[in-house]
Amino acid sequence: MDFTLPSDLQEIQTTIRNFVLNVVEPRAHEIEESNSIPPELIKQAAGLGLFGLSIPEEYGGVGLSTLGRCAAYEALGQGHMGFGGMVSAHASIGTSGLVRLGNDAQKAKYLPGMAAGEIIAGFAITEPTSGSDAANIRTKATLHGDQWVLNGTKHYISNAPIAGLLTVIAITDASKGSKGMSAFLVPMDTPGVRVGKIDEKMGQKGSLSAEVIFDEAALPADSLLGPQDLGYREALSILTNGRVGIAARSTGAMQRLLDLCIAHAKAREQFGKPIAEFQAVQFMLAEMEIDIQTSRLLWQKVAWMVDAGQDVRRMASVAKYHATEALSRVADKAVQVAGGMGYMKEYPIERFYRDQRLLRIYEGTSEIQKVIIAGDLLR
């Protein structure tokens, strides 16, 4: 049993880590102030293949396995979390449905532009009346002749303000309940589709989300993604596989926080010696390392399970729950180790502290993860 990442994945991690630390992080203040990602950073990220991590090489992507993508996400997590959130929302849940379910024509139409970062993608299921209760969506798609007509409102949709394409879950047969939902590929320039209120969030600046309104939005029949009336099942599958990516990004963020704390603890002196020599500080660093190592082992196991074709419903929830809860603990300890400096906006620990809080909520809250885990155990 070898837990060492293959050398090619280690090289990918190094390349991405260097990019986010040396290119993105120096512009973190600019991203925070403008709440947007500079276009040149998006272009540079595309040049590194970050938008094509899950897209097959034949369509211009990198074509990484789940293990490879998550290795990349861990490296991405060490940088600005808003930037990482924008990229991962595209490369994970925004892209995976089309890659897995799309027909040849749909893939040829969209995937090359998505891999090149020319079409930013997102995934739209959440609505004002449905968050954790994803089966309660009300957006409807009605077939009129050779067109599907969408009506409804989604909200908190990541990448919506900059997206060119959304995968949208809508009701196609209300009589079937959750078994009457379908997935659709919806270009954002479709008449009747518009972005509503852009969300003002506590953190993750630059990773924009917004409501999306569908008002008699007519789509060609071939916009249906995958089988009709199986959208809810496919949506759950997309979210399940996306959770391991969040676990990996959380692990990367924890590693960055620990690195910052170690450097600070060695440099900061109190009572005539570095605070790294005080056992109270050493214990916090040790606890951070424990959370990092356990989270890393979990995402690696679940990614391996996905690539092996195994059912990961329970273990993806285990990994997501553990890593995001661990990140909250690590972020809190990081502020404590850094003291007053950790509370200041010019120091990255303050930003990570705000940014990480969302990870325990989106793509399934911590409470929903426990419901999934317990339900699987008792099934």
pLDDT of residue 154: 97
Q: Is the pLDDT of residue 133 over 80?
A: no
Distance of alpha carbon 277 from alpha carbon 354, whole angstroms: 28
Q: What is the pTM of this model?
A: 0.94
Share of the chain above pLDDT 90, in %: 90
pLDDT of residue 185: 97
State the pLDDT confidence band at 233, using cuts at 50, 70 and 90: confident
14-60 pLDDT, tens digit each: 999 999 999 999 999 999 999 999 999 999 999 999 999 999 999 99
Distance of alpha carbon 208 from alpha carbon 89, whole angstroms: 10
237-246 pLDDT, tens digit each: 888 888 999 9
Distance of alpha carbon 81 from alpha carbon 252, whole angstroms: 10
| Catalytically active residues, by annotation | 363
Q: Is the pLDDT of residue 232 over 90?
A: no
Distance of alpha carbon 363 from alpha carbon 166, whole angstroms: 16
137-196 pLDDT, tens digit each: 899 999 999 999 999 999 999 999 999 999 999 999 988 888 899 999 999 999 999 999
Q: Is the pLDDT of residue 122 over 80?
A: yes
249-294 pLDDT, tens digit each: 999 999 999 999 999 999 999 999 999 999 999 999 999 999 999 9
Q: Is the pLDDT of residue 70 over 80?
A: yes
Distance of alpha carbon 366 from alpha carbon 369, whole angstroms: 5
87-105 pLDDT, tens digit each: 999 999 999 999 999 999 9
Listed in order, strand segments (DSSP E) in the chain are 121-124, 140-144, 147-158, 165-171, 181-187, 193-198, 209-220, 224-225, 269-270, 273-274
At a CB cut-off of 8 Å and minimum separation 6, what does 362 contact? 156, 158
pLDDT of residue 132: 72
292-334 pLDDT, tens digit each: 999 999 999 999 999 999 999 999 999 999 999 999 999 999 9
Q: Is the pLDDT of residue 116 over 80?
A: yes
pLDDT of residue 238: 83
Look at residue 187 and give its three-state secondary structure: strand
At position 270, the amino acid (one-letter code) is Q
203-207 mean pLDDT: 97
Distance of alpha carbon 88 from alpha carbon 227, whole angstroms: 26
